[in-house]
Structures are given as C-alpha cells and as structure tokens.
Structure 1
C-alpha cells in the first residue's frame, strides 16, 4: 500500500451484503448495487460513468451521506430537507477512510442545487453571523445563471484539502466551462483534494490522473477511450451527417 492510498480521505466503499434482507427491492435490485462488493477510489479523481438509471447517482448519494453530507447537497453544516427522496443505501455501506482528515468538502447534486442556493439565502436573511454567501463569491446563487452559480461554487467555495463529491456537475456548464472545470479540478488536486464524480461528460472525464468506473451490469474499471460516452461522441462528431441520417430515418 503506497503513501497516497494511506493518506487519501476516502479509500473505498464496501456493501455490507449481510445486512440486506432482500436484493429484489430498490436500490439493491439495481445491477450495479446487486453486484457491488468492494470499490476502490483513486486518491485524486474517481469518475463513475454509465447510462441513465444504472445507479451512478444512487451510489454517489450513499457515499456522500455516509460521509456526513446532506443528502440534497452542500457542506456537512447543511441540514435542510425539502423532500425525502434519497435511498437507504447509506445504511448498508461501509466507507474505508485514510488517516488524513479533509479541511473542506462539498456534495454537489445538480438536481437539488437550487435547494442549496435557497437555503443559503434563507440563512443569510436570518442574520446572526457572517454572510454564508460571501464564501460562494458574494452574489446570491439565485441571481446568477445556473451555469454561473455552478462555476462560482467551484471557484470560490472549494478551497483545497477537501473531499468533493459531484453528481453530474456538467449539467449547467457549457463545453468551455467544462474545460475550465478540468483546470480547477487540477488546481484543487494539487492542493491535496480528492474528487468522486458521476458524469456523462466526455470532456470532464478526460482528466488524466484518474480512475474511471463504467457501470453496466457492475462496476468495471476502463480507460477513457473505452468508455461508451467517449466512443459515441467521437463517432457523432467524426460522422455527423451519417449519424443524423441514421437517426432521422
């Protein structure tokens, strides 16, 4: 075991299969969860990719919640709940942690980021301390476009030496901003951060110092060029007219 592995914040996740009464119920019926035993994370960046409905967000949510983040997103200090839609999977997994503890952290869920922004505004209206929004760039996230708010989060709130769990961060980002996000990820990795990211973006998953797990029936470690997302996008861009002719017949 090398020093990076010992020091990394989250080393792996194990499914405690003996605690599960029925694998026919959600979320245990999902093939990715049904076939999950032990999953190792890269000390810098781990990508989880796959088709819609394969369980990417479900496993990411469970890891984040087990680590102490709010299931809807935010830092560990956020305790709001707008709707109880998260699964119970976090009760059935065990996180294997390294010896180091992060100084920062955030769980980003694209689908519930609006709720995080709303909670920040509500807390700041209550007063009683420093404005929370100042840690996010000083401007209400609701007064920015969706993409600007996402990018403001990456630039201002993520401060290094942290655990950042991101669920589809590309959802609001243009291709140019996705490339800028790669640069920001690299800055934060050099500052001792660890990322676990579920994504559909062939741009973001191109970050080189990473492990990519592709979900089909189970988690499979693959190279960037082996991912279905990369291959489909490559084929579409290289043969746009032919692909459109096929799709529109």
Structure 2
C-alpha cells in the first residue's frame, strides 16, 4: 500500500464490539457492521464502496460524528440540526488519531447539503463576523444548481491540511466535473489532506495512492479498482453495449 509512510490524521476506526447493545438491531445488524473489527485508513485517500443498503453512509456518518462533525455535514463548527436521524454507531467506534492535527475539516453528504446551504445563509443574515459564504465562492449556494454549489464548496472552502469525509460526492457532478474533482483531491492531498470517500463513481475511485474497501454481504474486503462493482459494470457496458441492452430489454 504505497504512501502509508505519511502520518494520517485518522489512522484507524475500530468497532468496540463488547459495547454494542445488540447485533440484532440496526445499524449493528448490517453485515458490514456485524463483521467490522478494525479498519486501517490510508493517510491520503480511503474509499468505501458497495451497493446501496450495505451501510456505506451509515459507516461514514459514524466515523464523521465520532470525529466531531455535525451528522448533517459541514465543518466542525456547524451545529445545526433539522432531524436527529443519525444512528448510534459513533458511540461504539474508537478512532485512532495520528500525532498530526488537521487545520481544516469538512463532512460532505449529498442528502443534507441543502440544509447546510440554508444554515450558511442564516448565519450570514445574523451577521457578527466575516461573511461565511465568501469562503464558499461568494455566490448563494441556493442560487446555483446542486452540482455547481457543491463544486464551488469543494473548490473554495476546502483549504488543505484537512480531514475530509465525503458521502457520495459524485451525486450531482457530471463525469467532467468528477475528473476535475479528482485533480482537486490530488492538489489537496499534496497540501497534506486526508480523504475518506464513499462513492459509486469509477472515475472518483481511481485515485492511485489509496485503499478501496468494498462492502458486501459477507463484510468488508480490500479490493483493487478493477475489482469494484462500479468499474466492472461500467467497463462491461461500454464494451458490450448492444448485447447488454438487448438482454436488458428482452421481455421475459
């Protein structure tokens, strides 16, 4: 695993199994949580991939909340809450922190990004300090498309030397924007950042100096990019479009 010699801000995450109330209850009943022990994190980029329903978002949220992020996203000083729907997982995780302390951090999740944008506007209306929106690109996040506003946040607000946790950031991004995002990730890594990203995008999971964990029915396994489901399915479709479409559209 190249690049592991650099000290990570977050070295590993461990499930404190003896403190789990019951493995029959959600989220501990999810196979990946049930099988989870200690997950070593890459000091540059760690990907968490897998089908919907496997627990990617739950795991990412647990890590983010255990670190101190608001469950709905934002930087460490965002405390707004529109609903308390996050799981109890964070209470049962032990984070092994590195010696280096990050000077920046952000938890991005597509599903609650709208609430984050509203919170920024509200804080700026209340005033009392420099305009927060300026560090997000200066333009109201609500006046841009979801993709534009998130991309503006990623390009302007992420400052380097940070721990960045991102849940399916490709949700609103075109393939071209995903490539730009990959370049920006590289730039931020070179500025001493660490990323933990859950994604379905074969483009976004292509960062070379990284580790990929695939979540499945039997737990968590470390895989190469070419072994991930999104990469295999996309390649298969692009190489065999006509026969695959024919098979998909054939009536039973």
Please give the root-mean-square deviation of Cα atoms over the aligned residues, in Å: 1.2
Residue aligning to 2:181: 181
Q: 1:98: how far off?
A: 0.5
Instruction: State the secondary structure of the residue aligned to 2:208.
Output: coil
Is 1:9 matched with 2:9?
Answer: yes
TM-score normalised to structure 1 length: 0.98
TM-score normalised to structure 2 length: 0.96
Instruction: State the secondary structure of the residue aligned to 2:46.
Output: strand
Q: 1:193: how far off?
A: 0.2
Residue aligning to 1:209: 209
Query: Equivalences for 1:66-215 in 2 at 5 Å?
Result: 66-215=66-215
Residues of 1 paired with 2:141 and 2:10: CA distance?
29
Q: 1:17: how far off?
A: 0.4
Aligned length: 248
4+ residue stretches of structure 1 with deviation over 4 A?
Answer: 2-6
Residues of 2 paired with 1:167 and 1:207: CA distance?
16
Residue aligning to 1:28: 28
Asked if the contact 1:44/1:194 (under 8 Å) is kept, the reply is yes
Unaligned regions of 5+ residues in structure 2, if any? none
Residue aligning to 1:224: 225
Asked if the contact 2:3/2:44 (under 8 Å) is kept, the reply is no
Q: 1:129: how far off?
A: 1.1
Residues of 1 paired with 2:192 and 2:212: CA distance?
20
Q: 1:21: how far off?
A: 2.3
Q: 1:154: how far off?
A: 1.0
Q: 1:207: how far off?
A: 1.0
Q: Deviations over 1:2-24 (max 9, x none)?
A: 99557210000000000012100
Instruction: State the secondary structure of the residue aligned to 1:21.
Output: coil
